[in-house]
Amino acid sequence: MRLEDLYDHLRRGGAATLNHPAVYGVAEGAVIAPARYAGRNGSEFVFETRAIGSQFCRTVLIDSKQSQANRAEEGLLAARRDGGAATNIPTIEVHYSGREPLSDLALPHRAVDAHIRFARQEDEAVVNRGWYQALRDATHADLSPVFVTAPAMLAFGGWDSSRRSGQLRLRGLLVSELFGVVDAEENRLSRRSGARLDPLGQDFHVAPDQFEQMIEMQRAQLSPRLVAKLERSLADARKKKAETISASELNLGGIPPSLESPFGVSVPEVRRARTFSLAGLRRLRFGGSMEDDVSARAALLAMLLLGAAYSDADPDLRAYCDVSAPRATVDLDGEVTDLDLSIEGCEAFLALAIRRLPERLAWTGQVQRVLGDEALNRGAQDAAGEDE
């Protein structure tokens, strides 16, 4: 079966799902780190029951739906850097001074992200620009303004939730998760934490005045949250009239290893459940003929397939979670097919889909460049967080 044969499934009556399950190898005896989520007892893993074949098995979530979608978007950004058909996909770019442009392919809320909504173009608020108003006013009867400006929102989903009325909601058309089958007993997970050895000493104590001087020396480089924490410790030490204060909060000294934190799990392999929703694509309409709709749906599907192919080529999930390249199969509604979903095959399919687009829906590499609010640029802060 050829990828172009998928056009037949983008008309009413075609297959509802294009499934792309896979298995990723894990080094024998390795303990890998699943996705972490904030929980009542700190960071936690997600254990759940899934139907695998005819059995229900206890599993651990390795990579979530949103994370997998983000990896496919990153794949499209990589495809654009490589040149080829992906450079024709329309995008919105937010420019901040001193930074690389932010693409709607990387922004969490895509075309309706706050970075875009608070931006300006030609000295006018983006929210008042005609092209952006047309995008936000689009309905499911005619999604063409979104398609020719920011198709990533159609492919990966989005919700204009901040709008007073007329909120556009679009489901993601790629649903993918990685998981591993674990022992029924949760207490078999590995618990340990990293250690730190300071070659000068495992603990440091300095006078409060010296502690304050150290804060001032790096204040401009520290996050406001950390500065506030350090100042509270300093004030507490002075209130107690302590002669010295621990410098551990300044990342000085060592940290002994512990067995309190969940580190990872042992699984024989990592499995993937991935579905491209052909039925979801068939619900999208673009204000023209049925053939126009099919052509637009095919371009969106090709875009998703290429992003996923790039993601599969470099399965770098997170630290301490190294897996092999995926061994995948393909099926349409459960019927196995021999579709070529390699980067080369998907690249050719995207090029074909773009050539077949009608003129009013053409993808020609159009980019809407907007200037981000510099107040946001100055106020941006990085803070440590969990994987998810």
C-alpha to C-alpha distances, 254 to 42, 194, 237, 247, 249, nearest whole angstrom: 22, 11, 21, 11, 11
Q: pLDDT tens digits, residue range 314-331? A: 999 999 899 999 999 999
Phi, psi of 104, rounded to the nearest 5 degrees: -65, -15
* Cα–Cα distance, 303 to 350 (Å, whole number): 6
pLDDT per residue over 92-114, tens digit each? 999 999 999 999 999 999 999 99
Q: Of 195 and 95, which is predicted with more confidence?
A: 95
- Give the number of C-alpha atoms closer than 13 A to the C-alpha of residue 322, restricted to the C-beta side: 5
For the residues 355-384, what does the mean pLDDT come to?
Answer: 88
The tens digit of pLDDT for each residue in 141-153 reads 999 999 999 999 9
Query: What is the rounded distance in angstroms from the CA atom of residue 204 to the CA atom of residue 250?
Result: 10
Contacts of 5 (CB under 8 A, 6+ apart): none
The yes-or-no verdict on residue 182 having pLDDT over 70 is yes
Spatial distance between the Cα atoms of 95 and 1, rounded to a whole number of angstroms: 43
d(C-alpha 282, C-alpha 290), whole Å? 10
User: What's the predicted TM-score (pTM) here?
Assistant: 0.86
Q: For position 192, what pLDDT does the model report?
A: 56
DSSP annotation of 325 reads: P
Residue 251: its pLDDT value, please? Answer: 77
How far is it, in rounded angstroms, from Cα 181 to Cα 155? 30
pLDDT digits (tens, 9 = 90+) for 45-79: 889 999 998 899 999 999 999 999 999 999 999 99
Mean pLDDT calculated for residue range 174-180: 96
Mean pLDDT, rounded, of the chain: 90
**Helices marked H in the chain — which ranges?**
65-81, 114-117, 130-137, 144-147, 152-156, 208-218, 224-239, 278-282, 290-313, 343-355, 374-379
* Confidence band for 42, pLDDT divided at 50, 70 and 90: low
- For 280-294, the pLDDT digits (tens) are 999 999 999 999 999
Distance CA 118, CA 126 (A): 7
pLDDT of residue 386: 42
Q: What is the C-alpha to C-alpha distance for residues 325 and 272, in angstroms, rounded to an integer?
A: 12
DSSP H or E segment with residue 59: strand 55-63
For residue range 225-279, what is the model confidence (pLDDT) as tens digits? 888 889 999 999 999 999 898 888 877 766 655 545 667 888 999 999 999 999 9
CA proximity to 361, closest of 302, 310, 318, 298? 298
Query: Looking at the DSSP assignment, which residues form a beta bridge with residue 47?
Result: 60
User: How is residue 39 written in tokens?
Assistant: 């929980």
Listed range (187-196, 333-342, 348-357) with the worst mean pLDDT = 187-196
* Structure tokens belonging to residue 353: 């889909």
Task: Return d(Cα 320, Cα 317) in angstroms, integer.
Answer: 9
Whole-number pLDDT of residue 385: 44
For 225-239, write each residue's pLDDT tens digit.
Answer: 888 889 999 999 999
